Amino acid sequence: MKATVIHGPRDIRFEEVPDPTIQKPTDAIVKVHASCICGSDLWPYRGDDETESAHTIGHECLGVVEEVGSGVRDFRPGDFVVVPFDHCDNTCPACLNGAHSACDNFGITKSGQAEYALVTQADGSLVKTDGVPDADLVPSLLALSDVMATGWHAAVAAGVREGGTAVVVGDGAVGLCGVLAAAHLGAETVIAMSRHAPRQELARRFGATHVVAERGKEGVTAVKDILGGVGGDAVLECVGNGPAFEQAFRVARPGATVGFVGVPHGAEAPLRTMFSKNIGLAGGIAPVRRYLPELLQLVLDRVIDPGQVFDLTLPLDQVADGYRAMDERTAIKVLLQP
Amino acid sequence: MKATVIHGPRDIRFEEVPDPTIQKPTDAIVKVHASCICGSDLWPYRGDDETESAHTIGHECLGVVEEVGSGVRDFRPGDFVVVPFDHCDNTCPACLNGAHSACDNFGITKSGQAEYALVTQADGSLVKTDGVPDADLVPSLLALSDVMATGWHAAVAAGVREGGTAVVVGDGAVGLCGVLAAAHLGAETVIAMSRHAPRQELARRFGATHVVAERGKEGVTAVKDILGGVGGDAVLECVGNGPAFEQAFRVARPGATVGFVGVPHGAEAPLRTMFSKNIGLAGGIAPVRRYLPELLQLVLDRVIDPGQVFDLTLPLDQVADGYRAMDERTAIKVLLQP
């Protein structure tokens, strides 16, 4: 099949690789209907994570089941499915505790930006729609495979509550979905920290009541001015690097929780600040499957429309252009069509 | 008055110092009826925290109001009061968010191991009993000024829930009170990690269903053997140093929360582990006043008896012996009587 392969920093190629095959009875092969590029794909793209040898890349997709292993009970060829980027059995102690992303049988989609993707733990991981969904719903359904579920996890982990206040650090697609999640979960004030006009605009469409363009100390002041002199009840850290972590803790009020979902890169938890201000830190890799049934219904009912994060659609064979656009921040998030 | 003064590492003297005086209208002076030595007093005692110049020490006490400032409305001389080690106004945004220990008008008891103590924010901080309590209740009431409220905070921050499992790291007085809190809050399994027979025994009296003497990798194995192969739903970190933090995260199941209340010393939050396992970290300086009304009632109703942590009582002028006993771990916690 043709698949996206990363060979090294800024070296993305769409090329022939072996087709994925059923390895275990719990596996399924999905023919990719749409996929996309994740902010975390930029870590190896930028060389921040080393690429030791060339490998397929891309972990977000949805599509049609092509083949299932002998142990798969709930899915069969032809089913239209959303593929959570993190596969899980949905039955182990971690899954039962809501930590599907630490499943005893954890797996990950490895060729989402390709013609076919292997899903380990198909029964535990996948959710299906009744037939092929309306085309205009595809972007929002695709967003559920990672970015929307991740933004939602940030909001849940941060303890967003009805009538409370939320501050979102990071205006990437995850941060924007965090805004949507915080608003949907009932936060009365949702502050998006963003410096980019198109992202600010989308944040407002997603329910941000305020946008703060300043960062650092000025950003803290601006947030507190909005919130009557205090920080946020819930803070969503949607980047993962040091400055974002620092910003997040500085805009959190005493007793707040920072929900973090960005892969930590050079970040540290400020233990002394957390101790003196009673600011908690919770989150991690999004347990996508935990939220998927609920989020799927919200999309199908057209209550939420996270697919708006896609502002560039490319044919899959132009995937390298997609990486470039996201790296240069000319696109928020790129949708790829085989 | 006579007060306990620390001059440097292992140099504790009971000596004459100026009486505390009302500085602000919100202040009160309390005549100390009983006080005690905290595990955190051992940091400067052992030289782990520097003592730049001699100063009074001791932040846990209860007693009788001697004098109040002109702005104090709810207390008057003669009231018998429990003094939270951390003073707060109980009205600022931090207090309203349950983070009384980050109060805008934060203060701390500075001469608890003395004849008199100054309480800033008397109205916000103090709670009183109806008259002088029975003598046998005094140790448990005294424990509410810090240690019991701190153990309770660890349990609350860790999210101990009815029917869940809890693991307590640290068998100091705070850890033991954490056991009591976890049991009272309904944890079905409470594992105390303790190597010392008298502390193990007290842990069991406080509600531990299991005691694990092993540490490190063996400790993790022992905990998981008890819990059916997984870590605890809630983990109480009641020490604050690096090995205790490490132990705490290793006995936490994916999706768990570590509640931490020990002053961090050489500890780090293991961000990558937290991220991959979705283990949260919450807690900090105990917001004592937040819990005080509830805990006071539990003690007065003789439902909980945290005063059992005191296994050595000394006259206040022998305070140096008390520090020695706690440093050498021949006493769990020392009660001092003027």
The one-digit pLDDT tens for each residue of chain B (338 residues) are 999 999 999 999 999 999 999 999 999 999 999 999 999 999 999 999 999 999 999 999 999 999 999 999 999 999 999 999 999 999 999 999 999 999 999 999 999 999 999 999 999 999 999 999 999 999 999 999 999 999 999 999 999 999 999 999 999 999 999 999 999 999 999 999 999 999 999 999 999 999 999 999 999 999 999 999 999 999 999 999 999 999 999 999 999 999 999 989 999 999 999 999 999 999 999 999 999 999 999 999 999 999 999 999 999 999 999 999 999 999 999 999 98
CATH code (residue A293): 3.90.180.10
Q: Is A79 helix (H, G, I), strand (E, B) or coil?
A: coil
Q: Do B275 and A268 touch (CB under 8 A)?
A: no
Distance CA B141, CA B299 (A): 7
Domain enclosing residue B33, as ranges: 2-146+287-337
- pLDDT tens across A11-33, in order? 999 999 999 999 999 999 999 99
Quote the CA–CA distance of A164 and A222 in Å, as a whole number.
18
* Collapsed DSSP state (helix, strand, coil) of residue B249: helix
| Shortest CA gap A279–chain B (Å) | 7
Predicted pLDDT at B24: 98
pLDDT, average across residues A262-291: 96
Residues B291 and B278 in one domain: no
- Which residues of B are less than 8 Å from A254 in CB distance? 93-94, 97, 99, 101-102
Alpha-carbon gap, residue A23 to B293, rounded angstroms: 60
Same domain for A176 and A276? yes
Q: What is the pLDDT of residue B50?
A: 95
Beta-bridged to residue A189, according to DSSP, are A165
Question: What distances in angstroms separate CA B220 from CA A244, B214, B217, B249, B264, one per listed residue?
Answer: 33, 8, 5, 10, 22
Q: In this predicted structure, what is the pLDDT of residue B121?
A: 98
Give the nearest chain B residue to A86 (CA atoms): B276
Residue contact A93–B230, C-beta within 8 A: yes
A278 closest CB neighbour out of B271, B277, B287: B287
Question: Could A264 and B284 be called an inter-chain contact, meaning their C-beta atoms sit closer than 8 Å?
Answer: no
User: According to the model, what pLDDT value does residue A161 have?
Assistant: 97
- Nearest-by-CA chain A residue for B267: A271
User: What's at B237, amino acid-wise?
Assistant: E
Which residue among A99, A269, A278 places its CB closest to the CB of B285?
A: A278
Residues A6 and A142 reside in one and the same domain: yes
In the numeric block, which tokens belong to residue A272?
A: 């002394």
Q: What residues contact A75, with CB distance under 8 A and at least 6 apart? A: A28, A65, A68, A81, A122, A123, A126, A128
| Inter-chain touch B253–A282, beta carbons under 8 Å | no
- Asked if residue A162 and residue A81 are part of one domain, the reply reads no
Interface size, chain A vs chain B, as Cβ–Cβ contacts under 8 Å: 132
**Mutate which of A152, A278, A291 to disrupt the B interface (most B C-beta within 10 Å)?**
A278
pLDDT grade for A317, boundaries at 50, 70 and 90: very high
- B107 and B200 share one domain: no
Asked if A170 and A149 touch (Cβ cutoff 8 Å), the reply is: no
Scanning every residue of chain B, which has its alpha carbon at the shortest distance from the alpha carbon of A269?
B269
Q: Quick one: A140 and A28 in the same domain?
A: yes
A-chain residue closest to B280, CA distance: A282
Could A275 and B284 be called an inter-chain contact, meaning their C-beta atoms sit closer than 8 Å? Answer: yes
Mean pLDDT, residues A224-233 taken together: 97
**Is the same domain home to B67 and B194?**
no
- Given phi > 0 = left and psi -120 to 50 = alpha, else beta, which region is B319? alpha
Residues linked to residue B128 through DSSP beta bridges, in sequence order:
B81
Q: Which residues on B lie below 8 Å from A271 (Cβ)?
A: 264, 267-269
Q: Do A98 and B233 touch (CB under 8 A)?
A: no
Mutation target vs A (from B90, B189, B241, B281; most A CBs, 10 A cutoff) = B281
Contact list in B for residue A268 (CB cut-off 8 A) is: 268-269, 271
Radius of gyration, alpha carbons of chain A = 19
CA B276/CA A260 separation, integer angstroms: 11
Three-state DSSP state, A158: coil
- Taking an 8 Å cut-off on Cβ atoms, the answer to whether B268 and A268 are in contact is yes
Interatomic CA distance for residues B256 and A266, integer angstroms:
24
Residue in A141, A147, A113, A114 with CA at minimum distance from that of residue A126 = A141
Q: What's the pLDDT score for residue B158?
A: 98
- For B277, the closest chain A residue by CA position comes to A102
Residue of B nearest to A98 (CA): B255
- B189 in the same domain as B116: no
Residue pair B152/B234 in contact (Cβ under 8 Å)? The answer is no
Per CB-CB distance under 8 Å, the chain A contacts of B255 are: 94, 97-99, 102, 287
Average pLDDT over residues A35-64: 96
Taking contacts as CB-CB distances below 8 angstroms, the residues of chain B near A274 are: 269, 281, 284
Averaged pLDDT, A287-314: 98
Instruction: Write down the mean pLDDT value for chain A.
Output: 97
Instruction: Indicate the number of domains in chain B.
Output: 2
Tell if the CB–CB gap between A281 and B269 is shorter than 8 Å. yes
Retrieve residue B277's tokens.
């396992």
Helix axis angle for A216-226 and A242-250, nearest 10°, is 30
Cα of B187 to nearest chain A Cα, Å: 16
Chain B: closest CA distance from residue A135 (Å): 34
Asked if residue B172 and residue B137 are part of one domain, the reply reads no
CATH number for the domain including B257?
3.40.50.720
DSSP letters along A178-205, please?
HHHHHHHTT-SEEEEE---HHHHHHHHH
Number of H helices, E strands in chain B: 12, 18
Instruction: Round to the nearest angstrom and report the end-to-end CA distance of chain A.
Output: 11
AA identity, residue A163? G
Burial of A197 (0-12, 13-18, 19+ CB in 10 A): exposed
Which residue among A264, A283, A302 closes a domain?
A: A283
Measuring CA to CA, which residue among B149, B152, B158, B144 is closest to residue B179? B152
CB atoms within 10 A of CB A70: 9
Task: Please enumerate residues of A whose Cβ is less than 8 A from a Cβ of B.
Answer: 93-94, 97-99, 101-102, 157, 228-230, 233, 253-257, 260, 263-264, 267-269, 271-272, 274-285, 287
Of A271, A277, A284, Cβ closest to residue B274: A284
**Contact across the interface for A102 and B264, Cβ inside 8 Å:** no
Q: Residues of B with CB below 8 A from A228's CB?
A: 93
pLDDT for res A293: 97
Chain B residues close to A88, C-beta within 8 Å: none
Residue ending a domain, choose from A239, A256, A283: A283
Q: For position B293, what pLDDT does the model report?
A: 97
| Phi, psi angle pair for A291, to nearest 5° | -95, -15
| Among candidate residues B261, B283, B305, the one where a domain is terminated | B283
Residues A156, A123 share a domain = no
Distance from chain centroid for Cα B307: 12
Contact predicate B244/B262, CB 8 Å: yes
Question: Two tokens at A98?
Answer: 């809501």
The torsion defined by the Cα of B193, B197, B199 and B202, in degrees rounded to 10, comes to 110
Same domain, A34 and A142: yes
Looking at the DSSP assignment, which residues form a beta bridge with residue A265?
A: A241
Q: Are residues B16 and B140 in the same domain?
A: yes
Kindly determine whether residue A99 and residue B254, on different chains, have CB atoms separated by under 8 Å.
Answer: yes
